[in-house]
């Protein structure tokens, strides 16, 4: 199971949200370059980056910061946040991103996402963010009536099997992740599930690995020194 330390970006700065609330964003005294280098130095071979400004605007607001993460880390970088056109996908892949995450556009234009998966394969993932089991879009500010598990099943059936699932209620709260939902999701035949939101212990990483999760994203627990990244990588990626 891969371990992805997260770098969330607002205004070029490293931040963490609390349960998706932009007004409760905490800014950390570290640049994106420093965070990328530090994660690599601690053994991370994969990094998860999110342009939170872009998630709201639908544009690549922090593309320069993302490019620095790619160049400074030397890691496999997946990037999400406001990516809603093929031009944006091509731009990030050309910059060296290993994978581009599509979120809101998967709800707004499902066929577009299917087309992009057919064209770019494993270079595309779909971010499914859930609030009380319903899919949230536009930087988590709008909650739809779409059942999140059913949406994941639909994505996988259409060939989009690389899914990053976040339970918003857990994200940034340091209270643990929703292991139960990942137990359901990994049961979807063919799905490659990345767990995101609230992971704060090695025990949770071990359980997610046992369940068969493809990857786990670590955020606030790293920035608040609640979890050791090197130990997490060694546990998650050990054969």
Taking the C-alpha atoms of residue 5 and residue 90, their distance in angstroms, rounded to an integer, is 24
Q: Which residues are catalytic?
A: 8, 129
Q: Which of 42, 45, 49 is nearest to 63 (CA)?
A: 49
Alpha carbon 230 to chain centroid, angstroms? 19
């Amino acid at each position: 199971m891969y371990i992805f330390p997260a770098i969330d970006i607002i205004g070029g700065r490293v931040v963490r949200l609390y349960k998706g609330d932009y007004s409760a964003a905490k800014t950390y005294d570290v640049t994106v370059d420093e965070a990328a280098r530090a994660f690599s130095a601690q053994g991370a071979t994969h990094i998860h980056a999110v342009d939170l400004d872009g998630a709201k605007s639908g544009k690549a607001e922090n593309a320069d910061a993302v490019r620095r993460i790619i160049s400074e880390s030397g890691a496999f970088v997946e990037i999400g946040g406001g990516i809603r056109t093929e031009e944006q996908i091509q731009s990030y892949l050309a910059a060296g991103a290993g994978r581009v995450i599509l979120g809101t556009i998967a709800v707004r234009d499902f066929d577009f996402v299917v087309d992009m998966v057919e064209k770019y394969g494993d270079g595309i993932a779909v971010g499914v963010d859930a609030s009380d089991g319903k899919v949230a879009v536009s930087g988590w500010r709008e909650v739809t009536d779409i059942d999140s598990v059913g949406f994941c099943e639909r994505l996988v059936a259409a060939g989009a099997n690389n899914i990053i699932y976040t339970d918003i209620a857990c994200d940034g709260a340091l209270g643990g992740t929703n292991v139960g939902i990942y137990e359901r999701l990994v049961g979807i035949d063919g799905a490659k599930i990345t767990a995101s939101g609230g992971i704060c212990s090695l025990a949770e990483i071990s359980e997610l690995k046992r369940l068969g999760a493809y990857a786990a994203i670590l955020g606030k627990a790293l920035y608040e020194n609640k979890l050791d990244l090197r130990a997490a990588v060694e546990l998650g990626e050990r054969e």
